C-alpha cells in the first residue's frame, strides 16, 4: 500500500525524528554533535523554519520544528545530506548514514505542543542514560531553565505557554517536567495518531484531513506574508514601518524570494507593499543569498 503524502501546514508544529541507518550511531564524539548543530542552524536559516526543542541522542535525533512556507522535506534532505557528507569524510566511511525516510508528525498546538517538548527532553531519562533531563548535555532542557544560551533555539513561544513573566514561566515549566507522562500520549507522540501523520483532537484532525486532499491553490503574496509574520511572531506593520531592524530587512528579503519563486509577486510589488524601493529590497535579497551561500 502506497504511503500517504506528508501533511504540510505552514506555521505548523512537527515532531521530527531522524534515525541512523540500521540504528547505527550518528554521533561518535562531541565534535560530531557540534558540526550537526552548525548544520541545523544553517538549515533553519536557509528554509525559514524554527526549532522549539531538540534532543541529540546517540543514534537518532528528536526535534520540535515549526515549518515555514517550504515543506520540511527540502530542509530535512539538506540537513541529512550535508551532515552525512561531513560525517563520512571525518570518519573515513561511505554509504548511507540515515534511514531513507524521516518521521514528521504534525501536532495540534493547543493540545500537544507542551507535551511534545516534555517528550523530547525526557528521552535520555527514558533511555536510562541519565536520571534527570538536566544531566543530559545534548538537549534543549537546560536552555528552558535559563541555564544555557539559546543558540539555535526559539523557546520564547513555548515558555510563554507556561506564563507571561519569564521567571514564572521557567518555574511552571520545571513543575510540568516533574509530572508523570501519560502512556497513551507518549505513544501518540512517538507513532502518530490513527492517521500516523498527525496528533490532535478529533475535530482538529477532521478539519485537517478534510482540507488536505483538495487541490492546492497557488500561493498569493497575502498567503506568504501572513505565514511569514506568523512564523516570526510579528505584525505586518513592522515590515512596513519607516525604520526597522536588520531582522525585518531579512524577513522582507525572504518574503520577496518566496513570492518571486512562487510566481506570486515581483520584487517591485513586494517592495511597494512594505514601502521600500525595489533597489533597496534587491540589495537585501543579495546580502541574504550571499550569507546563506
Average pLDDT of the residues of the chain: 90
Q: What is the pTM of this model?
A: 0.76
pLDDT at 41 over 80: yes
pLDDT of 84 higher than 50: yes
* DSSP per-residue codes, 212-243: HTSPPPPPPHHHHHHHHHHHHT--HHHHHSSS
pLDDT digit string (tens) for 96-125? 999 878 999 999 999 999 999 999 999 999
Check residue 2 and give its pLDDT.
58
Q: What's the topology of domain 13-211?
A: Alpha-Beta Plaits (3.30.70)
3 state SS of 95: coil
Q: What is the DSSP string of 248-293?
A: HHHHHHHHHHHHHHTTS--HHHHHHHTT--HHHHHHHHHHHHHHH-
Q: What is the pLDDT of residue 216?
A: 47
pLDDT 10s digits, 144-186: 998 888 788 988 889 999 998 999 999 999 999 999 999 999 9
What is the phi/psi pair of residue 17, to 5°? -125, 125
Which own/partner contact pairs does 89-94 have at CB distance under 8 Å and 24+ positions apart? 90/31, 90/32, 90/35, 91/28
Q: How far apart are CA 285 and CA 109, in angstroms?
A: 32
Higher pLDDT, 286 or 171: 171
Which tens digits make up the pLDDT trace of 16-26? Answer: 999 999 999 99
What ranges do the domains of the chain cover? 13-211, 221-292
Mean pLDDT, range 28-45, rounded to an integer:
94
Amino acid at each position: 500500500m502506497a504511503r500517504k503524502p506528508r501533511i504540510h501546514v505552514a506555521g505548523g508544529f512537527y515532531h521530527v525524528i531522524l534515525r541512523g541507518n540500521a540504528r547505527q550511531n550518528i554521533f561518535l564524539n562531541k565534535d560530531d554533535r557540534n558540526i550537526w548543530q552548525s548544520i541545523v542552524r544553517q538549515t533553519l536559516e536557509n528554509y525559514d523554519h524554527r526549532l522549539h526543542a531538540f534532543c541529540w541522542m546517540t543514534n537518532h535525533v528528536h526535534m520540535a520544528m515549526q515549518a515555514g512556507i517550504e515543506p520540511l522535506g527540502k530542509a530535512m534532505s539538506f540537513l541529512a545530506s550535508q551532515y552525512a557528507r561531513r560525517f563520512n569524510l571525518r570518519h573515513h566511511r561511505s554509504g548511507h548514514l540515515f534511514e531513507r525516510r524521516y518521521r514528521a508528525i504534525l501536532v495540534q498546538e493547543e493540545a500537544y505542543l507542551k507535551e511534545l517538548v516534555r517528550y523530547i527532553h525526557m528521552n535520555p531519562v527514558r533511555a536510562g542514560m541519565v536520571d534527570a533531563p538536566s544531566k543530559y548535555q545534548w538537549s534543549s532542557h537546560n536552555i528552558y531553565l535559563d541555564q544555557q544560551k539559546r543558540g539555535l533555539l526559539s523557546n520564547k513561544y513555548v515558555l510563554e505557554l507556561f506564563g507571561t513573566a519569564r521567571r514564572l514561566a521557567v518555574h511552571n515549566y520545571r513543575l510540568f517536567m516533574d509530572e508523570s507522562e501519560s502512556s497513551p500520549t507518549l505513544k501518540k507522540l512517538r507513532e502518530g495518531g490513527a492517521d500516523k501523520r498527525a496528533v490532535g483532537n478529533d475535530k482538529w484532525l477532521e478539519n485537517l484531513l478534510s482540507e488536505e486532499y483538495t487541490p492546492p491553490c497557488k500561493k498569493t503574496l497575502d498567503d506568504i506574508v501572513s505565514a511569514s509574520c506568523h512564523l516570526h511572531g510579528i505584525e505586518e506593520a513592522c515590515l512596513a514601518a519607516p525604520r526597522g531592524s536588520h531582522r525585518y530587512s531579512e524577513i522582507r528579503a525572504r518574503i520577496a524570494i518566496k513570492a518571486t519563486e512562487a510566481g506570486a509577486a515581483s520584487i517591485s510589488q513586494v517592495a511597494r507593499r512594505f514601502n521600500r524601493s525595489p533597489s533597496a529590497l534587491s540589495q537585501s535579497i543579495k546580502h541574504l543569498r550571499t550569507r546563506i551561500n
